[in-house]
Amino acid sequence: MHAPMNDSGHQDVVSAFAERYHALAGFAHVVQNPAEAGAKAGQILREAGATLAAMAGLPEDLVDPIVQGLAGAGIDCDSGPFPSVELPGRIDRASAGITGADFAIAQSGTLVEVATNDAVRLVSSLPRTHIGIVRARDIVPRFDDAAPRLREIFNAHGGGCTVSFISGPSRTGDIELKLTLGVHGPEIAHAIVIADGER
C-alpha cells in the first residue's frame, strides 16, 4: 500500500487534486463525511436539473448516505443491481451517474475507477453528468504513484478487470483544435472528496 501521510501533507494533496481537477474543467468539492457527500451530490444534481441518477461501484458504507442525500434533493436513484439484459438501456435513461473511485492522482487531477462489472463503466460514461467520489486518504500525489497500485489491482483480479483513469469531462479538439466538452460522455464532471478517513 502507499505510504501514510501526515495531516498537513494530505491537505496539500487534496488541494493539489482539486486545483488540477478544476483546471481540467471539472468541479471538485471537499466534504467532511459521507452524509455531507450525499447532501453535496443532491445539491449538484438538483442544480444540474437531473431527475434520475444511476449509481455503481460505491463502497457499501457510502451507498446509504448518498441515496439519502439524493432523496433529500428529490432525485430518484437507481443503485442496481443491473442485470445484463437491461443494459445498457437502464443506465442510459439516467441523467446522472455516481461512481466510487478507488483512488485519485493529484498531479493529473485523475479519478481512478476499478471495474470488474462493466455496469460501473457505463454509469460513469453514458449520463451527461458524472460525480466521482473518493476518500481523501486515497489520493496519491504523483502520476508515477499509480504504477504499484495498478500492479496490485490487476494482480488481485486474475480475470476481467478494467481500470479507468478519468480526468475531467469528455472533451474533443477535433474541430479546429478547439476544446469542446461533452461530445460522447459526461459534459459535466464533479469530484467529491471525503476528507474524514480512518486516521
Look up residue 199 and give its amino acid: R
Tell me the closest approach of the beta carbon of residue 137 to another protein, in angstroms: 22
Tell me the closest approach of the beta carbon of residue 126 to another protein, in angstroms: 7
- Closest to another protein by CB, 76 vs 144, is 144
The Cα–Cα gap between 173 and 168 comes to: 15
Tell me the closest approach of the beta carbon of residue 10 to another protein, in angstroms: 20
- Closest to another protein by CB, 59 vs 148, is 148
Contact between 103 and 67 under an 8 Å Cβ cutoff? The reply is no
Q: What cell numbers appear for 167 in the block? A: 480526468
CB neighbour list of residue 79: distance below 8 Å, 6 or more residues apart: 54, 55, 56, 58, 63, 67
- Closest to another protein by CB, 42 vs 169, is 169
- Closest to another protein by CB, 1 vs 175, is 175
Tell me the closest approach of the beta carbon of residue 13 to another protein, in angstroms: 15
Give the total residue count for the chain: 199
Note the maximum CA span of the chain: 49
Report the interface residues with another protein, using CB under 8 A.
Answer: 24, 80-89, 92, 107-108, 110, 115-119, 121-122, 125-126, 143-144, 146-148, 150-151, 154-155, 157-178, 180, 182-186
Other Cβ atoms closer than 10 A to 74 = 10
The Cα–Cα gap between 120 and 163 comes to: 11
- Closest to another protein by CB, 104 vs 115, is 115
Tell me the closest approach of the beta carbon of residue 18 to another protein, in angstroms: 16
